[in-house]
Amino acid sequence: MKKLLTRSKTNKVFAGIFGGIGEYLDIDPVVFRFGYVMMTVFTGIIPGLIVYILGLFIVPAPAHGTKEV
């Protein structure tokens, strides 16, 4: 079965972007969340927010009726 990158329905804090990336790559999403927070702190808040908002548009929501594996 082909894996698709989508936002997570179950493993999410805000929108499920990092949960979806973690599920897609079989890596704990906490690693991505920590890296995002560190990137945001060291580059300033605004670039981090822009990246997260872009992620909302780039990583699609899961289709209705699809089963999580």
Q: Over range 12-16, report the average pLDDT.
A: 89
Segments forming the whole domain that contains residue 25: 17-58
pLDDT tens-place string over residues 27-65: 999 999 999 999 999 998 999 999 999 999 999 998 876
- Residue 1: inside a domain, yes or no? no
Degrees to nearest 5, angle at CA 26 with 58 and 10: 65
- Residue 5: inside a domain, yes or no? no
Does residue 62 or residue 1 have the better pLDDT?
Answer: 62
- Residue 25: inside a domain, yes or no? yes
- Residue 11: inside a domain, yes or no? no
- Residue 63: inside a domain, yes or no? no
- Residue 64: inside a domain, yes or no? no
- Residue 68: inside a domain, yes or no? no
Is residue 12 predicted with pLDDT exceeding 80? yes
Query: What's the CA dihedral at 26, 39, 60, 18 to 10 degrees?
Result: 30
- Residue 48: inside a domain, yes or no? yes
Q: Which of 30, 36, 31, 9 is nearest to 20 (CA)?
A: 9
